[in-house]
A and B are shown apart, each in its own frame.
Chain A
Amino acid sequence: MTSGSMRSRLMRLQWLALLLAGAVSGILSFALTWHTVNDLRDHTLEQVAQSVVRHGLEVEGDDTDPDMPDQGQFTSQIWTQDGKLYYTSTSDDGPPRQRPGWHRLSWQQQEWHVYTLEQDGLTIQVSQPSQSRNQAFWRVAPVLALALLVVTAGLYFLLHLAASTSLKPLGQLRQALDEADPRAPQSSLADRPWPSELQPLVATLTQLFDRLAEARLAQQHLVTRAAHGFRTPLAALKIHAQLLGRHTAAGSHQDGRHREHLLLATDRMTRLVDQLLQLAEFDAMGTLPAAQALDVSTWLEPYLRLWQALAKAHHIELDVDLPPQARLWADGPALGAALDNVVHNAIRHSPSGGRIALSLVAEDGQGVWRVQDHGPGMGEADRARAGEVFASLPRTHPEGSGLGLAIARRVAVLHAGTLQLLPTPGGGLTVELHLAQVPTSAASR
């Protein structure tokens, strides 16, 4: 979808402004020129009248051709103090005598500009036909119009040049983006001298590129690590499949053991696939779709049954401590998946006869799920890396996928919380899921 060209819009607006400016300046020039021509002509009439006064009445024997009164430019008349027409440049009496000052009157089917001066007992009247003024004006007007046209054309060219020069960085940015490799961070893009208007856009684009490159890298790591994670159970699968049916050195079969291992390896791979899908699902989530106020005991009950059975099979005691009638705002399936992974890890790493403590408490305005084991524990550096996807820590149990804690961390983040790993006093690992919502007691509601 396009909303049109910025350049075209800019040019249209500029062209419109130019036309408007041209029209206004044309009209103003026209009016000013007309006014000036009139002023000049009026001034000429006044000067002629004044010059008659200055020279006195010495117009006897005037050889002016009465048919060509003042070459058609103007007529002049002089009246004496007694009102007698002393002189006229026309063949007849000329335009009627006016009171002193400027006048415009109609005479002989023409409009006339008239100036009448009374001085030293004389009345001098100089007249000029409007048509003569119009002719003078229209001689000047085309030159003015031509000058205006040339200036307008020049301005149009300059505006075009200005628009092209100003919009050039946009083209350069487009070219830079075309050439940019979306797989790499674009620090060089921001280093170039962009105009201040483009700088925020370039900064945002650079950030976008960086995030894109980061996401690509993370995806690449995940794929590489997932492939690595699959190699171990695949190797187990292959060895046992290859050895199936072979004789041992003693001549007997070990097919029972191989079949058992084939099933175990298949289970491991299935769990790995499940966890990868779970992680992908939680990664894609921006919010928690099934968040609601959970009745903790009722919700946890089916999970607890599974964990108790698993713990019992490993000769481990699972102690559970929940606040009575607690309710917690959380996404049941997501939180269940997170706790399931954490509890499975604890069971896997606990020695036979060991104890695991699972509890939910309200601490510092947060709901804290705590799973405490007494297994081999984890060093500080490993604890810091433990929530990463396929962190491949030395502690990773052969049956572990390296995804469990990553899933738990993602779920904690979705609940606006964190995953924290601490050493258990006396040895072991304590995993805490800190959730933003505090458990409440149903009884107190």
Chain B
Amino acid sequence: MKLLLVEDDEQIGEGLKLGLSSSGFQVDWVRMGAHALTAQATGRYDLVVLDLGLPDMDGTDVLLRGRGIAQRAPTLVLSARHLTADRIRSLNLGADDFLVKPFDFDELVARLHALHRRGLGRRDPVLRIGGLSIDPLRREVVRDTEPLALSPREFDLLLALAEQPGAVRSATWLESRLYTWGAEVASNAVQVHLHHLRKKLGEGWIHNVRGIGYKLQAVPTPVAPPPA
């Protein structure tokens, strides 16, 4: 999942970046409100984590000005402001959730997943496509009853395709979901990860739509042969 982190405190920012990256988020980190607005307008993010006390503008201004941005990602506000009035103001300005500093990191991750799920209109925390079960929080994949061992990139790739099964995703789109700014990405990185994923999932799951991209399609669960 691609996440925009807006935090001016170096220590919290670095902690969040390290922690969220470990939890499977691709984190782009900006320290200014203006940069957050530009990033939201130009990049595709699944989630935004926003601090309120920014050096150039207040986080609520980022919320206010970000209202017009098409396909605005769900935003979780992180703030040291603990008053109920601050939460209400942020939520009324378009924030989707609010956490007061200091917060529990695992709670933050759980809330981010819930926000993302809600954004996609899902209730079940586990994605189920045919015989495939994908748990984004635990980062586990089970095909039929068999757990699959995927690398972090392969998991992210599968998740990106599984969020909207059947939708065709270009290699560029997939690359933007897998890597953060400035990451050194080999030109065929996506294809290499797709190749490994296909091998682990088995035939029939990932389809190449020539000239456009890739899509994930459910493969019916094989019916166990009746005992002889």
Partners in one complex: yes
> Which residues of A does B touch, CB under 8 Å?
227-229, 231-240, 242-243, 246-250, 254, 257-258, 261, 264-265, 268, 392, 394-396, 398
For the complex, give the distance between the alpha carbons of A247 and B102 in Å: 22
Give B1-23 as 1s and 0s: 1 = Cβ < 8 Å from A's Cβ atoms: 00000001111101110110110
Give every chain B residue within 8 A of A243 (Cβ-Cβ): 15, 18-19, 22, 105
User: In the bound complex, what is the Cα–Cα distance between A231 and B105 (angstroms)?
Assistant: 15
Is B106 engaged at the interface, CB distance under 8 Å to the other chain?
Answer: yes
Q: Is the CB of B12 within 8 A of A247?
A: no
**Closest chain B residue to A231 by CB distance?**
B80
> Can you report 21 A-B residue pairs in the complex whose CB atoms are below 8 A from each other?
A228-B81, A228-B82, A231-B80, A232-B9, A233-B11, A235-B9, A235-B78, A236-B9, A238-B103, A239-B19, A239-B102, A239-B105, A242-B19, A243-B18, A248-B18, A249-B22, A254-B18, A254-B22, A257-B14, A264-B11, A394-B57
Given contacts A228-B81, A394-B56, contact A250 B152 (CB under 8 A): yes
- With the chains together, A130 CA to B161 CA distance in Å? 142
Interface presence of B136 (CB below 8 A): no
A351 to B24, CA, bound (A): 35
Q: Which residues of A contact B19 (CB under 8 A)?
A: 239, 242-243, 246
B66 close to A (CB within 8 Å): no
B100 contacts the other chain (Cβ, under 8 Å)?
yes
Are B12 and A236 neighbours in the complex by a CB distance under 8 Å? yes
- Judge whether B162 is part of the interface by a CB distance below 8 angstroms: no
Q: Which residues of A lie under 8 Å from residue B105 when comparing CB positions?
A: 238-239, 242-243
- Say which residue of A240, A250, A394 sits within 8 Å of B15 (CB atoms): A240
Query: Out of A235, A242, A250, which one reaches B12, CB within 8 Å?
Result: A235
Give B83 Cβ to nearest chain A Cβ, in Å. Answer: 9
Contact flag A398-B82 (CB < 8 Å), given A247-B22, A249-B22: no
Asked whether any CB of chain A lies closer than 8 Å to the CB of B53, the reply is yes
Interface secondary structure of A, over-half rule: helix
Contacts of B11 in A (CB 8 A): 233, 236, 240, 261, 264-265, 268, 398
Does B54 sit within 8 A of A, measured CB to CB? yes
Indicate if the CB atoms of A237 and B102 lie closer than 8 Å. yes
In the assembled complex, the Cα of A228 lies from the Cα of B52 at a distance in Å of 13
Q: CB distance A231 to B101 under 8 Å?
A: yes
Q: Which of B145-174 contact A (CB under 8 A)?
A: 152
Q: Which A residues are CB-close (under 8 A) to B54?
A: 394
CB-based nearest B residue for A239: B15
- Report the contact-size class of chain B (Cβ under 8 Å from the partner): 20 to 34
CB distance from B115 to the nearest CB of A (A): 19
**Are B152 and A249 touching (Cβ within 8 A)?**
yes
- Contact assessment for B22 and A236 in the assembled complex, using a CB-CB cutoff below 8 Å: no
CA of A239 to CA of B108, assembled, Å: 10
Residues of A within 8 A of B80 (CB): 228-229, 231-232, 235
In the complex, what distance in Å separates the CA atom of A392 from the CA atom of B12?
18
- Let me know if A242 and B22 touch, CB within 8 A: no
B78 CB to nearest chain A CB (Å):
8
**B8 touches which one: A228, A235, A398 (CB < 8 A)?**
A398
Closest A residue to B155 by CB, please name it. A249
Is B55 an interface residue when CB atoms closer than 8 A count as contact? yes
List the B side residues contacting A236 at CB < 8 Å.
9, 11-12, 15
The 4 closest A-B pairs by CB, nearest first: A239-B15, A235-B101, A231-B80, A236-B11
Query: At the interface, yes or no: B124 with Cβ under 8 Å from chain A?
Result: no
Contacts of B184 in A (CB 8 A): none
8 more contacts with CB within 8 A, not counting A235-B12, A239-B19, A246-B22, are A231-B80, A232-B12, A234-B102, A238-B105, A243-B15, A258-B18, A265-B11, A398-B10
B104 at the interface (CB under 8 A from A): yes
Query: In this complex, what residue of B is CB-closest to A234?
Result: B102
**Contact present for A257 and B18 (CB under 8 Å):** yes
Are A239 and B82 CB-contacts (below 8 A) given A232-B9, A249-B21, A394-B54? no
User: Shortest Cβ distance from B38 into chain A, in angstroms?
Assistant: 18
Complex Cα spacing A334 to B14, Å: 36
**Residue in chain A with minimal CB distance to B58:** A394
Distance in Å from the Cβ of B205 to the closest Cβ of chain A?
23
Q: Which residues of B contact A261 (CB under 8 A)?
A: 11, 14-15
Contacts of B22 in A (CB 8 A): 243, 246-249, 254
Q: Which residues of A contact B104 (CB under 8 A)?
A: 238, 242
Question: Complex Cα distance A257/B16, Å?
Answer: 12
Chain B residues whose C-beta falls within 8 Å of the C-beta of A394 in the assembled complex: 54-57
Q: Mark B29-69, 1 if CB is under 8 A from A, else 0.
A: 00000000000000000000000011111000000000000
Residue from B9, B21, B54, B152 having most chain A Cβ neighbours under 10 A = B9
B106 touches A242 (CB 8 A): yes
Report Cα–Cα, A231/B24, bound state, in Å.
26
Kindly report which residue of chain A lies nearest to residue B153, judged by CB atoms.
Answer: A249
Bound form: Cα–Cα A119–B55 in Å: 128
Contacts of B14 in A (CB 8 A): 257, 261
Contact partners of A227 in chain B: CB under 8 A:
82
